[in-house]
Structure 1
Amino acid sequence: MGMVNSWGRLGKPEHRLVPLAHGRDVGSSIAGSTPAIAFGNGRSYGDVCLNPGGTLWMTRGLDHLLDFDPSTGLLKCEAGVLLRDIQRLLAPRGWMLPVTPGTQLVTVGGAIANDVHGKNHHVFGSFGDSVRHIRLIRSDGEIVECGPDLRADWFAATVGGLGLTGIIAEAWIQLRPVEGPWMDTESIPYSDVSEFLSLSDRSEQEWEHTVSWIDCIGGSAGRGIFMRANHSSLKNAQELDKGSRRMPVEPPISLVNNWSLRVFNALYFHANKWKSGPGVAHYEKFFYPLDNLLEWNKMYGPRGFYQYQCVIPRASGQDAVERMLREISRSAEGSFLAVLKTFGDRPAPGMLSFPMPGITLALDFPNRGVRTEALFRRLDSIVREAGGRIYMAKDARMPRDIFEAGYPRFREFLAFRDKGISSAMSRRLMGS
């Protein structure tokens, strides 16, 4: 038995832990240990990877790279491999993952199960769009081989399927060619959400990666810093220092409060406004700004934190985002690194994939109990009215009606569920 928490650190429930170490032995290793859920590197924020009082199948031991074709960029690997390990091994050889989220410290299995997205959805879609084949092992020992062109229904259920269709044991991923690890970047200050949308629309024609930081406590205007980047042909540049720091202690209370947020957001905006313009950055610095500060989640104190990420259809997006910013500003809650970006107009690979055409806003909130819950109810109302959805990889408290409205294919998905797999999230949102 062991106490396990997710990245939000909202609790540390007890689980029975079953380590998995050999891909071909997964079926025998999990026999008799249900109901359970796979647990990768624990970077999901809420309860999607937790099963309080039940079993966790620990997949980090499935960490082998099995095959790579340097002429085509097709990689075969086990599900416990970290995205960081793929990037650091193959980027110097001219290949990278087409899509990565804001941290590379997630497993391949977790990236598929949550169909993670990056800053280039308008170009490469979400993580599932680069997956060519999945070897899925069900709790009863059945093996399901699936892909976009092989048992496509199973593939669509498993990509973004929250680990509920079986254990993703192996995956074949199509990498994309790059000339090196460097990015040509540009940052541009903007004054409101309307200007952000204009920048985003213009940038998507010529820039692969687009994202912005937004000041979430300055009212509805939403000033921020827009960042865009393309892969560079630069060969000679100072090598990145890959050392990392760690939060030295867990503070007794959250370091994120109204005073610290206002000071930080003002300094961050003006410092980045002053140094705006073109530049060059290593991909790790541009894609994963927080990965060098290990255990940064401790800054929120012993009660943990929530991340609230939603996507709103473009037609109602500007109004909804401005209303959400007003509510957040009035509440004196908010985030140091609030993120605003857009998703492209392309179909999702999974039945429960989060991305859809529209605007997505992501913010961290310290857990202040009833006060935070009251804010979330107000934000939920805006999302519900605008026809949006909430990201399940980040969620720990979404109401069931918003889940059902936001993910209209969930009933179709239920036919592919593994009866031996259950999580705190599946029980909360699907009843079992």
Structure 2
Amino acid sequence: MSPSPSRFSRVRSIFPSASRAESIRVTEILRKETVGGILLVIFAAIALIWANSPWADSYFAIRDFEVGYEPWHLKLSLGAWAADGLLAIFFFLVGLELKREFVAGDLRKPSTAIVPVVAAIGGVAVPALLYVAVVGTTTSEARGWAIPTATDIAFAVAVLAIIGSHLPSALRIFLLTLAVVDDLIAIGIIAIFYTESIELVPLLLALVAIALYGAIAQRFRQFFHVRPGAAWLILLPIGFTAWALMHASGIHATIAGVLLGFTIPVLHRKAHRSHDAGPGLAEIFEHRFRPLSAGFAVPVFAFFSAGVAIGGAEGFVSALTDPVLIGIVLGLVVGKPLGITAATWLITRIRRINLDPSLRWIDIAGVGVLAGIGFTVSLLVAELSFAAGSPHYDHSKVAILTASVVAAVLAAVVLGLRNRRYRKAEEREVGEHDSAGEH
């Protein structure tokens, strides 16, 4: 229930109306992520079925097949290439989207950024605490505390697109902004807590390559004034070099993707309108790389990461007793909605901020449940948390798959009911408008 007007006079809305250009941009992103989410589910399902079929050995042989160049620390299995290489494209777009949000989006103003930021923090902290409460703080299983903290935007948006055709646009923008901040926190967790050793020389060289990449990107119109779309022909080799050096340094290579995305210049909407200079480099790169990320990189990663041998019904039942599985499922299915909803409610009371007039608290709770779909980044953190071949490695992935399906079903029920209510309200408004027109 929203605060009453009498109690909170002259309060702000936590989701002020976006401009038409921003709404169009968000809609386009969600459309592409929806397609990516559907492909992600299909590829993950194929991998899971294949890994538990009579032909399972062929799946694991493909996943573990090594290619690359050893002296550069790049002789990796196909599964590792997907996790370290292809997923860097996904994280490059995360960095690009974060830069856009901080420069020209909702996160540029502290008054509008504070709610999704606090909501994302709550959605990370509560699942982690629930996980640790289940497995303990001194056990080897505690290393997986960050697994249930991530939200898979592609999977979540795919579910939202299927069941939320009439939900308010403010709710979709909240989900996207929340997921962007969630990704930023996940990036920090991976960089800080899952880096065991650092090689300083490759790291410094990687930072030099990133600085060079950024210097060229910031002046791309001077370098590529004839064909600005050709900037990637120069930047791509430098970006790959930075990625390879970051990989050699011991820091997870996807961090290079994020840092490279941060260096891309983003035009503010007002500046873009006042200077008819065509699309900026951020728009060019997003147009080129988002379909590659959503349509290929993330689904292929899901294919190589989601294929775990469950061991039939008996193996699944035995996995249910593993504290790792219990902690992850509780963290994603219970902790995510609890943390997001409670944090949002708390910050609105502290800062005297109202919900958007088109929303109710049950909508926020529904988005919290939807955020419990922790697929791509959760699978990555699971691979960083436990050694391949250990029971916890497989059980953590079974837990992520199980929790994501449960969260998707629960969110479909909650938001589906809300969608029906919003649809009926729209139909009533249309009927009343038509009736008034006849008179």
TM interval, shorter chain, is under 0.3
Asked which structure has the greater CA Rg, the reply is: 2
The TM-score, its normalising length taken from structure 2, stands at 0.26
TM-score relative to the length of structure 1:
0.26
Say which structure, 1 or 2, has more relative contact order (CA 8 Å, 6+ apart): 2
Higher strand share: 1
